[in-house]
Structure 1
Amino acid sequence: MLKEEHEAPVLGPQSSVPTATTVINIRGETAVPDHIVWSLFNTIFLNWCCLGFAAFAYSVKSRDRKMVGDMIGARTYASTAKCLNTCALALGLLLTIAFITLFVTGSLMISQTISKMVRQYGGY
C-alpha cells in the first residue's frame, strides 16, 4: 500500500475549539468478596448453632469458585456466607448478652438469699 492511503486528509484550517472526547471504561472482573476472615472469626468465637462453621464452608466454596473462574457461583456462595455470618454474629451477640445478664442476676439473687439466711438464722 502506498503511504498516502494511510494518512488522513486535512480539511480546512485547524480550529482552536476543543473537540469532545468520549471515554469508555471497560471494567475487568469485579472482585467478589468471599468473607473468609469474618467466617473464621465467627467459627472461632461466635459459633452458635454451627452457623459460623457453615459460613466458613461457604466462604471456602466461594474462594474455590473464584479460583476456577466461575464468578456467578462465587458470588452466590459469598452471598450465602454473608447471610450466615450476619445471623451468626447477631445470634452470638444476643446469646452472649443474655448469658451475661442471667449470670449477673443469678449472682445477685444468690447473694441476697445468703444474706437473708444469715440475718434470719443468726450465722448458722
Structure 2
Amino acid sequence: MNPPGYQAESVPAQMGRNDGFTGQPATSTRVQYTTVSISTDPPKDHIIWSLCCFVYSNPFCLGLAALIYSIKSRDRKMAGDLQGAQGYGSTARNLNIAATVLGCILFIVFIIIITTSAK
C-alpha cells in the first residue's frame, strides 16, 4: 500500500568520486539519477456504506450526515482535489462507524426489552 499523496522523485547517487586526499589525481564525478514512480490510489468515499446506514440504521441522523459527506467526498474526487476528498471520506467513515455501532446497540436493547417484557 502506498502512503497517500506520495509522488515520484529523483534521487542523485554519486559514484566514482575522488577528492584528491589519497594523493591520486582527481577523477570526474558521475551522477546517476533514479526515478521512482508510484501511483496513488484514489481516496474512498464510502457511498454504499453511507446509503445502508441512511436507510437501515439512522440514529440521530448520523446516516444522513455520513451520506452528505460521502457525496462531498465523491464531488471533490471528481474535481481533482484528492486531499479534500480524503478528508470528507474520513469523516464519512467515522460517521458510518458511529451510526452502525449505535444502530446495533439500539437494536440489541430493543430485542432485550421485547424479550423481558413478554414474560
TM-score (norm 1): 0.66
Equivalent in the alignment of 2:117: 106
The residue aligned with 2:87 is: 76
The structure whose residues are more often helix, as a share, is 1
User: Quick one: percent identity of the two aligned structures?
Assistant: 45
Within 5 Å, which residues of 2 pair with 1:40-51? 40-51=51-62
Q: TM-score, normalised by structure 2?
A: 0.69
Alignment of 1:2-13 (within 5 A): none
User: Unpaired segments of 5 or more residues in structure 2?
Assistant: 1-32
1:24 is displaced (CA, Å) by: 4.9
Q: Any idea what the Cα deviations from partners look like across 1:63-107, whole Å, max 9, x if unmatched? A: 000000000000000000000000000000000000111011011
| Whole-Å separation in 1 of the counterparts to 2:117 and 2:37 | 62
Question: What do residues 5-54 of structure 1 show as CA deviations (whole Å, max 9, x unaligned)?
Answer: xxxxxxxxxxxxxxxxx975412342201000000000000101110110
Structure with higher Rg: it is 1
Unaligned 5+ residue runs, structure 1?
1-21, 109-124
